[in-house]
Amino acid sequence: MSHRRIVFAVFPGFQILDLTGPHEVFTQAGRLLGGSDAGPAVVVETVAARPGPVASSGGLAVCPTLTPEEVAGPLDTLIAVGGRGVQQACEDRDFVDWLARTSRRARRTASVCSGAFLLGAAGLLEGRRAVTHWSRCAELAERFPGVTVDPDPIFVRDTGGGGAVGDGRGSADGEVWTSAGITAGIDLALAMVEADHGAATARAIARQMVMFVQRPGGQAQFSTQLAAQRPGRPPLRDVLDWIADHLDGDLAVPALAARAGMSERNFTRVFRAEVGRTPAAYVESARIEAARRLIESTDGTVEAIARACGFGTAETLHRSFKRTVRVTPGEYRRHFAPHAS
């Protein structure tokens, strides 16, 4: 192909931002990259099962440019959006079968939010790692037991094992991307643009769209405090606030238990019951989150950030970062900090 053809699949009751956010990213890419005598560098289209306007879950309607029969020839990226109407769309066998067939001639296939259920119904997630909106991850795992559902990241890029990326074998053997809820679709689209056209182009689009930062796929769907259950006991709530304000201090169980006025054993038991994780896991998550913010927004050294966030040494931060974020602090900064070159 002389251009990258991006096709979004929509259905009645889709979530409008699942479409318009990523759609705008690719549209901006087309404007930035221009084209040649052979045509524009990026072409963005929408497809629905039937002709005519398609109403979103919020009432706004779009007019898809194509029906399935009109999506002829090769395409670069096929993206299924999500929304309240996804269950009914999954029951439309003709539409689901079309997704499965068309994915085979796409370089990669993707979903935004609950669009993962459409990919699952089409058999495109079998044996793969995937994500969807946090509230539906358990349902996705239950409905498609052959899928490894990871509820944490905002998007997942699974390159598969049947063929090399870009080898022309289609996404049935290559790449399948899935994203978490709604705005995460923008991050997914930016990551695709970066993979296709470089980090500078992706950052230029993020700036044009006035995004605070281009988030990596390993970014959690929630901050540590939002992800945790809010404890009912005032002493534990005070401890969580203390942790957030004293990440560089002593946050071991004995110190936290003393602050809560509880024995270590009782504190550990009650903390896990009310917060939903162990004190050590919560503290590490809070420290990683703070380190990410500093890496994204400052020029501080990894050593300085490690000390500020309570890791002590750069090596300890490196190990925790690699295990939880799946990249090193240096890689994270090179690819995702707004000021990275």
Give the whole-angstrom CA distance, residue 188 versus residue 194. Answer: 10
CB atoms < 10 A from the CB of 24, how many? 17
Half-sphere exposure of 288 (CA within 13 A, CB side): 27
> In the Cβ-directed half-sphere of 204, how many Cα atoms lie within 13 Å?
15
Helix, strand, coil shares of the chain, percent, nearest 5, are: 45, 15, 40
List 63, 90, 113, 137, catalytic entry: 113
Task: Look up tokens 């290559």; give the residue.
Answer: 174
For residues 117 and 82, the answer to whether their CB atoms sit within 8 Å is: yes
Amino acid type, 80: A
Please name the helix (run of DSSP H) or strand (run of DSSP E) that holds residue 135, with its range, or none.
Answer: none
Residue 78 tokens, joined = 């096929």
Report the phi/psi class of residue 21: left, alpha or beta, with left for phi > 0 and alpha for psi in -120 to 50.
Answer: alpha
Total Cβ atoms within 10 A of residue 146: 11
What is the CB-side half-sphere exposure of residue 48 using CA atoms within 13 A? 20
Dist CA 80 CA 178 (whole Å): 9
Is the C-alpha dihedral spanning 138, 140, 143, 147 positive or negative?
A: negative
Of 283, 295, 289, 284, the residue nearest 329 (C-alpha): 295
Are 58 and 234 in contact, with CB atoms under 8 Å apart? no
Give the count of beta carbons closer than 10 Å to the beta carbon of residue 323.
10
Q: Which of 147, 143, 145 is nearest to 156 (CA)?
A: 147
> Is 113 part of the annotated catalytic residue set?
yes
Catalytic residues, by residue number, are: 113
